[in-house]
Copies of this chain bind each other. A is one copy, B any other.
Amino acid sequence: MISFANDYSEGAHPRILEMMGRANLEQNDGYGLDAHSEKARQLIKRAVGREDVSIHFLTGGTQTNLLAISSVLRPHQAVITASTGHINVHECGAIEAAGHKVLTWHCEDGRLTPEGICRLFTEHTTEHMVMPKMVYLSDSTELGTIYTKAQLTDIHNCCREHGLYLFLDGARIGTALMAEGNDLTLRDLASLTDAFYIGGTKNGALLGEAYVICNPAFDEDFRYQMKQKGAMLAKGFLIGIQYEALFKDNLYFELAAHANRMAQRLKDGMLDMGVKFLVDSPTNQQFPILDHRIIQQLEQKFLFHTEKVIDEAHTCIRLVTSWATKESYVEDFLKDLLTLLS
């Protein structure tokens, strides 16, 4: 079986494993206070172009979203997200379990708009309702789409106008920044958001998310929150070393670029066959709509998830590529699909 089920099926890029191996018998300080984590922080600060950000290493996306949101909001404050947002659907109510309402705005392509934010803000007017206080975005989104610099700037301005914090989930920020059509940079994120993260789990690390705090208010006692939520690894250097490997040269972006390339091959190949897509994604998640019969055939050899039923005969599936996707996987898929469609 060949898997297009997700971008976290394999271990870590060999250059990461190699660096871990070299450091294996060093005696490092615990809890992320080691020299590797510090070095990784310096590299990331250089990449985002700001010395005054704070960086904490966490183990996964849900944990990072949970901590970023719950460490800042007071109990009556709510977070705004696209209805498709990961925090709304796929985190088992983690934000609510931390006490906060998630306010949603319906978005066809996964991207939140200033209009949606503004409407939700103005509808919540009294102490009988929750108080919107943060906006949550992800780039790339759950549907593989990305924000332009103009769009993110508009959202940034909308947030400033209404006193809302802006937090960006970057579990797949690598593929977003390397996508065709993208004009955002890490530096832009550092100036347009209060906090964001640079995802490692889905871009070649064993595990790890680098949470970058741009607004100092988000950093107050953040390590207490990490500890309390069980998110402070004893061997924090384990993630530090990986980010050192990802950012000491261009590895982080190379891996994302490869994933995108594989996805665009899939996309172009299917477009050539006349396949329709749910959305036009420039990143490593593609959402082709296929006949049920064909999907069943593909499932004999390929792993992937179903996104949604379109009509009686058609379903949208999700194909995900990663740093580890081989070109032969893509060729195999396209060849088989072509045969099935003929």
Interface residues of A (CB under 8 A from B): 1-3, 5-6, 8-12, 14, 17, 20-21, 23-30, 59-67, 70-71, 74-76, 78, 89-94, 96-102, 127-131, 201-202, 206-207, 221, 223-235, 238, 303, 324
Contact = CB atoms under 8 A, between A and B. Distances in A.
B228 A97 contact: yes
Given A11-B238, A74-B221, A221-B74, A228 B93 contact: yes
A35 to B, nearest CB: 12
A205 B138 CA distance: 33
18 contacts: A5-B30, A10-B24, A59-B230, A63-B231, A70-B75, A74-B221, A76-B221, A78-B93, A90-B129, A92-B128, A93-B101, A93-B130, A94-B227, A94-B229, A99-B99, A127-B223, A207-B234, A207-B238
Contact of A8 (B21, B206, B229, B235): B235
A25 B10 contact: yes
A27 B24 CA distance: 25
A241 B321 CA distance: 23
From DSSP, what is the main secondary structure of chain A's interface residues?
Answer: loop
A63 B102 CA distance: 21
A88 to B, nearest CB: 9
A11 B8 CA distance: 22
B10 A91 contact: no
A225 B93 CA distance: 10
A75 B202 contact: no
B17 A24 contact: yes
B206 A238 contact: yes
Given A234-B202, A235-B201, A91 B128 contact: yes
Given A127-B232, A229-B229, 11 more contacts: A6-B234, A9-B27, A11-B25, A70-B75, A71-B75, A76-B92, A76-B221, A93-B129, A94-B230, A96-B100, A99-B99
